[in-house]
Chain A
Amino acid sequence: MMKVTRPSTAPALAAGAPTSRKTRTSAAQRRAVFLFVAPFGVLFLAFYAVPILFAVVQSLLTVERKGTFGPPQQVFGGLVQYQQVFQNSEFWESVGRVLLFGVVQVPIMLGLALLFALLLDSPLLKGKKFFRLAFFAPYAVPGVIAAIMWGFLYSPSLSPFDAVTSQVNFLSADLVLWAVANIVTWVYVGYNMLIIYSSLLAIPTEIYEAARLDGASNMQIAWRIKIPLVVPAIILTGVFSIIGTLQLLAEPQTLRSFSSAISSTFTPNLAVYTTASVPNYSLAAAFSVVLALATFVLSFVFLKATQRKVSQ
């Protein structure tokens, strides 16, 4: 459990010291700040900021040939690639697909995570430690491996549960999106459960005792006290889930060996990968920029919208 001890603001220990000493310390501190921040700063610039800028630049280029058989040349093309992005129906279908996925899967996953966290925090359960570990274990399974495991379990010809899979083909065009949703849920419920559970543990128990004295039932305590107090944790898990949904790649890409219903542009990131393999780097870069921007805007809006709601 995390104890938040908020340090009182520093008493002015150095206040009585002579000024010369004070300036010396602050020079040392400035150097220290530089040393502490610089390594991350350099890496962040090199592997976050510069690549994004470079992708933006690449997305503004277009390939041109001199005459029909001349050598290809990259020239500035303005927003030509973005025009392509907006006209690319496969890309927008993939965006629609992951949005549908997110609207259904994220609430189910977070709802389950909240339910399990509340049960773990209630006096109703025995063997809490076991449940916590059992539910969290799938988080240790990489997306690729989870998709391979579930791919075998789903597959009509390979599944050990052929009594079910011969009746329902989870890998058909109609169901495969939800087959992916099940894999993602299986992996991440426990992780989200733990985030919500740790924030439940941080609530001081006196609040419950007071509520119980007022005659509140366990159910009322959960609804009226616990859930409102863990809203920040739920928002955090919500933002990460939205980001994760838009980035879906490993699970559908791996399932392609089991199901022909997953096209090479099934999710936006698959479309990026497929387009980059053509190779059409400029269009792939434009997809990436649109996707990164959409992810950023969506999670930012979600964060702001829920914050306003909470503070009201």
Chain B
Amino acid sequence: MSRGAAMLIMGVFTLYFLTPIWWLLVSSSKTGGDITGTAPLWFTADSIPTFFANLGNLFTYSDGVFGRWLANSALYAGLGALLGTVIASMCGYALAKYEFRGREAIFNVVLSGVLVPATALALPLFLIFSQVKLTNTLWAVFLPSLVSPFGVYLARIYAAASVPTELLEAARLDGSSEARTFFTVSTRLMAPALVTIFLFQFVAIWNNFFLPLIMLRDQALFPVTLGLYAWNSQISQIPELRVLVIVGALVSILPLIATFLALQRFWSSGLGAGSVK
């Protein structure tokens, strides 16, 4: 294949991947009528003031519920992924670096957990949570999000490859406790894997739709995806929501894109780990 053909393929697909996002950005700076009435992929004369007006409307509509949704998503995804990463990495690390009875059995159970996806569990989880009267609470979305079998799998593979057993022996001889060795030495060696686990769990929780959809009735508990979905399905009755949905969509993807860009150095090295073995 020639250099020209290769660049052409990549160029065409760059348009495919970026045009919808560009359209979202441009449309966020238009009034409701201008979204369909003007050139779709370019700004209008008063784009900048319109953009800020839209943004203002977004955060004030219905008592600022959108800000609440963003905060909920940040809590579910941010704190959930952080705790989930710690929990998954401890387990994966133990499976990689210690010999104990039932180790393979545990790992196999975790692996089958990887193959049973979160969405298949949404209804079973709903049934369980309604038994203990915890549906329509923050916990119903937060607690199940902490479990990441894929995180355990990644942590195990990465710990086996990057934490030398000699180092653990040396730490033991120095009198360091197992937990201290893990938190001060091993986690540092596993950093790329930890960032990867965090990021992918963050995205998985941020994007999770079925669980909040089935668990939550109270708008004040919605994550931002469910909130925007709810607005979007009311557009035919309340047309002014259309602009808010578009601006809200833009605002809701910015934190993710920013997180990915900021942590790029880490995830691009950790991502391959899952397929090494």
Chain A residues near B21: list those with CB within 8 A.
Answer: 137-138, 141, 149
Residues of A within 8 Å of B20, CB to CB, are 138, 146, 149-150, 153, 186
A32 near B94 with CB under 8 A, answer yes
Let me know if B124 and A140 touch, CB within 8 A. Answer: no
A247: min CB distance to chain B, Å: 4
Contact A186 B17 (CB under 8 A): yes
Q: How far is the CB of B135 from chain A (nearest CB, A)?
A: 12
Report the stretch among B44-52, B55-63, B64-72, B125-133 that lies at the interface: B125-133
Contact B203 A140 (CB under 8 A): yes
**B3 contacts which chain A residues (CB < 8 A)?**
124
Establish whether residues B123 and A254, one from each chain, have CB atoms under 8 Å apart when the complex forms.
Answer: no
CB proximity of B30 to chain A, nearest CB, Å: 10
Roughly how many angstroms separate A13 CA and B165 CA in the complex, as a whole number? 10
Quick one: CB contact mask for B233-277 with A, threshold 8 Å, 1 for yes? 101100000100110010011001100110010001111111111
Q: Which of A189-236 contact B (CB under 8 A)?
A: 189-190, 194-195, 198-199, 201-202, 218-219, 232-233, 236
- CB-contacts of B195-252 with A (<8 A): 203, 206-207, 209-210, 213-214, 225-226, 228-229, 232-233, 235-236, 242, 245-246, 249, 252
A134-B17, A250-B209, A295-B116 as given contacts; A119 in contact with B9, CB under 8 Å: yes
Nearest CB on B from A211, distance (A): 17
B120 and A160 within 8 A (CB)? no
A194 touching B88, Cβ below 8 Å = no
Q: Which residue of B lies closest to A239 (CB)?
A: B115
Instruction: Encode contact with A along B108-145: 1 for CB under 8 Å, 0 otherwise.
Output: 01101101110111111111100100000000000110
Chain A residues 270-294 with CB under 8 Å of chain B are 272-273, 276, 281, 284-285, 287-288, 291-292
The interface bits of chain B over 80-109 (1 if a CB of A lies within 8 angstroms of the residue's CB, else 0) are: 000000011011011100101000001001
Query: In whole angstroms, how far apart are the Cα atoms of A131 and B120 in the complex?
Result: 34
B117 with A254: CB separation less than 8 A: no
Decide yes or no: A194 and B14 within 8 Å by CB, A119-B6, A149-B24 being known contacts. no
| B161 at interface by CB-CB < 8 Å | yes
Contacts of B261 in A (CB 8 A): 133
* B275 nearest CB neighbor, chain A only: A233
CB closest residue in chain A, given B121: A51
Known contacts A116-B10, A148-B249, A161-B40: A247-B162 contact under CB 8 Å: no
Contact B276 A295 (CB under 8 A): no
Neighbouring A residues of B210 by C-beta, 8 Å: 249-250, 269, 273
A69 CB–B CB distance under 8 Å = no
B43 at the interface (CB under 8 A from A): no
Interface size on A, residues (CB 8 A): 110
Interface presence of A305 (CB below 8 A): no
CB distance from A233 to the nearest CB of B (A): 4
Q: A13-B173, A36-B93 are in contact. Are A2 and B276 (CB under 8 A)?
A: yes
Which B residues are closer than 8 A to A by beta carbons?
1-3, 6-7, 9-10, 13-14, 16-18, 20-21, 23-24, 27, 35-36, 40-41, 87-88, 90-91, 93-95, 98, 100, 106, 109-110, 112-113, 115-117, 119-128, 131, 143-144, 146-147, 149, 152, 160-166, 169-170, 172-173, 177-179, 182, 192, 203, 206-207, 209-210, 213-214, 225-226, 228-229, 232-233, 235-236, 242, 245-246, 249, 252-253, 256-257, 260-261, 264, 268-277
Q: Could you list some 8 contacts between A and B, CB below 8 A? A: A2-B276, A7-B166, A32-B178, A50-B128, A116-B10, A142-B207, A257-B236, A269-B120
Known: A125-B6, A161-B40, A257-B236. 14 other contacts (CB 8 A): A36-B98, A47-B143, A124-B2, A124-B6, A140-B203, A142-B256, A145-B225, A148-B245, A149-B21, A232-B276, A233-B275, A239-B115, A249-B209, A269-B120
